[in-house]
Structure 1
Amino acid sequence: MGNSESEKSQAQTQRGYALAILKYLLENTSPNQGVTALRLAQDFASGDLEWNPPEISERTAREYLHYLKSLGNRLPFGVRVRQFADLEEEIPVPPGGRRTDWFATAIISPAQMRVLADALQMSRFYPDDVADLRSLLASLASVKPEHLESGQILFPDRPMFSGVPATLLELDSAVSGGYKIRFSYSHVALRPEAEGRQAPGKYWSPNQRSRRGKKQRSESSSLRDQAVLKESGKKYEFYPYTTVFKRGDYYLLAGEDPHPNENTRIFHFVIDRISDIKILEGTADSVDSEDFDFVRYVNERPYFFSGQAVDVIYRVTGGLDGTFSWFPDAQVVPDGDSDCYLVHVRAQPNAMVWWALQYAGSVEVLSPPELREEITKTLEETLRKYQKKNK
């Protein structure tokens, strides 16, 4: 029994050494900066680190460094411990370093981490939730959370409800398992007592718990109380195909056909408004959407409308920024003047109407004629409304 307890204690100590060294390497080294076994042992004994690592000798540090290196890519999250001597000859050793110095590479670089962290913040999650996620990304990228504070990403006025991450997890389970789902869907509506007052710029629901400061809560409570997400009372049952993040919202793409094709009517739901989701296990047909190109489908819709996409040609003046921001697969040729272009895209007609109106000052749709006619009718109706107001 004594030997067993002693062996267990020794194993725990060894794991503690390995984890402490790995933590140190992730926080203090990179392919641009290494460390010797001696320096690692000295830092452990210095008391200058923000955490309390065990004291170890240079020899012990070197033994565990070689052990961590021997694990290759079997360490969690794809972390690898290496020496500069392991790199290709054409990669120079950092200034002041030696080929025997040790370093760890994380699964994600600080630059990649920054992109992901900013994307999280722009996706309307609660500020506190985003802070936790940013700290996690920072640890994966071997940098301190403060490294992310230099950017100025403003929090939107309408953060996602607290149930969105759980809804996304449930949807992922249904999509990967090929199950049909049932859910409720809500729409923004004024509370009865708020009718006749100015509609607020943000909405609220009873299950939303604000995590902001007291001052912010008192300033915004009167606005929040004027609006609510109101369920339609109808339960939807669909096969979920995929989820997509597009211009500030998460969407569920779903349909009645478990095998979507070009003729399938696809429905679009803002995940922020989905509630009471239930996976209907044991459905007759499992979902098979691998043959459908959802990337192309999303790119053909600047706004989500169901229906077939068509070939569209339009003339744009003043530059192509708006074109490639919305249509990454656009084909473009110059059209006379240096700032005039002919653009060919595939787009859903109803979505294209609203996109063309958005850029009416610089875009003229040339074909198909049916789309051009629909834009003309919409502009005429809009003109009549404004002319009526001016009389």
Structure 2
Amino acid sequence: MYGSMKSAPSTAEIVVEILELLDAHTDREHGVSAVWISRQLGVTEKTVRGHLHTLAAIEPFGRKVGKLERKDLINAQSIDTKTGWYIESIFDTAQMRLLADGAALSRSDGEYLRDLIAKVYAFAGRSGQLDGLGTLLTPPHYNREFLSNVEQLNDAIAHERQIHFHYCTYDVNGELIPRIDAAGKPKEYTADPYNLRYKNEKYYLICHLQPYDDLSYLHVERIRNLRVEDVNHSIQRTFDSFTDDAGNPIDIAAFMNERPYPIDGEAVPIRLRVEGGLEPVFDWFNDAKVTQIEKNVYEVVIKAPQWATAFWALQYTNSGVHITVLEPQSLRSELLRAGHTLLNRYGTSER
């Protein structure tokens, strides 16, 4: 509140204060009155109303400013709704949950995640619900360089800068240790980074790992001692130099969609017979083509690498859904080989 000894606030100061009050005290189900705002700022109600109507017309920062009436709150979920002026939250509740839950799934530092999620809740006007989040623990064997790596990789991708790093495996205690070269020293890797993608609860770097020809998929949490070249456009190959089997530029979203697991290999048409339900199909393959043969029996065509499809099919061996690969024969042969391997390993009484 502006004291009597201070000079009258400028228009800009009043507008900023109004926005701050709306942001801190309102949402889609809770408004404040112009009278209340005027008392907080020590200015006239007429001044506040004039600025509120101006803000409603211009929508500052793309956020709606408006006035809640009783009819607007009929279907509200809060038990303490209030009419009055409000500013639209940056995120709605659904967006808040998606962002917060997505962050919580990442294997990151617990304290950092809580701070991040607190900001998401604040932007959604739901800071009061943060107590229900519970404790976020830092995962065991956490790579302390993970967050820094994400930031550096993002910049390297944006500026097409080549990267150098150590790539880790696990020791018997689950701790990350660098892979070793023939000389017994940590192996140095060089790559052209293209994209960061989250899939199957892992954060992947899609890149050209030298000296290989195909795209590679690296777990970001296993990268250590990352060093980014200082020069822009220092990558050896651009992403658009990679093409699909038809010679077309790769669409990264479609490319990842075709892979239930990030894995090398050409995506090919695969024909399946699925009995019992389609959940395993559409949970993993958005673009599956399905024809119903009879009740709960379907012919399905997907496009995916054969190795990835073999892994996917094997996980449903004992489920209520029966999946049979009809084509190609090479994939059927691979599954048969896997079956013989399992039979030889577990088909005896030896333990």
Shorter-chain TM-score tier: 0.7 to 0.9
Further displaced range: 346-355 or 157-166: 157-166
CA distance in 1, matches of 2:188, 2:124: 43
Taking a change above 3 Å as real, the CA distance of residues 139 and 358 of structure 1, as seen in their structure-2 partners, is same
SS in structure 2 opposite 1:390?
coil
Does 1:243 find its partner at 2:230? no
Match of 2:52 in 1: 65
Judging by fraction of residues, say which structure has more helix. 1
Q: How many angstroms apart in 1 are the aligned matches of 2:155 and 2:23?
A: 32
Residue pairs, 1:177-192, within 5 angstroms: 177-190=159-172
Determine the C-alpha separation between the residues in 2 that align with 1:130 and 1:268: 25
Task: Show CA shifts across 1:27-55 (max 9, x none).
Answer: 3333444433113335x3xxxxxxxxx44
Change (3 A) 1:179 1:284: closer
Task: Give the TM-score taking structure 2 as reference length.
Answer: 0.80
In 2, are the aligned partners of 1:330 and 1:345 still within 8 Å (CA)?
A: yes
* Distance (whole Å) between structure 2 residues aligned to residue 151 and residue 29 of structure 1: 22
1:130 maps to: 113
Q: Where in structure 1 are there 5+ consecutive unaligned residues?
A: 1-8, 45-53, 86-91, 191-199, 204-226, 258-262
> How many Å apart are 1:158 and its aligned residue?
4.4
Q: Does 1:25 align with 2:8?
A: no
Matched-pair contact (CA < 8 Å) for 2:165–2:226: yes
Letter in structure 2 aligned against 1:365: V
Task: State yes or no: 1:316 paired with 2:308.
Answer: no
The Cα shift of 1:156 comes to 8.2
The alignment status of 1:82 with 2:66, answered yes or no, reads yes
Instruction: Report the Cα offset of residue 151 of structure 1.
Output: 6.2
Deviation, 1:84, is: 6.2
Aligned to 1:139: 122
Aligned residues: 322
Deviation at 1:277, TM superposition (A): 1.7
The 1:12/1:311 distance shift into structure 2, 3 A limit, reads farther
- Does residue 335 of structure 2 align to residue 386 of structure 1? no
- Tell me: CA distance 1:355–1:12, structure 2 relative to 1, closer, same or farther (3 Å): farther
The change in CA–CA distance for 1:12 and 1:375 in structure 2 (over 3 A counts) is farther
Correspondent of 2:323 among 363, 382, 387: 363
Change (3 A) 1:164 1:286: same
1:310 aligned partner, one-letter code: V
Partner of 1:222: none
User: 2 CA distance for matches of 1:286 and 1:69?
Assistant: 50
Within 5 Å, give how 1:1-391 maps onto structure 2.
17-42=14-39, 44=40, 54-69=41-56, 71-73=58-60, 75=61, 78-83=62-67, 93-94=72-73, 101-144=84-127, 146-150=128-132, 157-158=139-140, 160-190=142-172, 203=174, 227-232=175-180, 233-255=186-208, 265-280=214-229, 281=231, 283=234, 287-289=238-240, 291-336=249-294, 338-361=295-318, 362-388=322-348, 390=350
Inter-CA distance 228–163: structure 2 relative to 1 (3 Å threshold): closer
Q: Distance in 1 between matches of 2:94 and 2:42?
A: 33
**Contact kept in structure 1, 2:208 and 2:237, CA below 8 Å:** no
Flag the 1:97–1:103 CA change in 2: closer, same or farther, 3 A.
same
Could you tell me whether the CA contact under 8 Å between 2:176 and 2:222 is conserved in 1? Answer: no
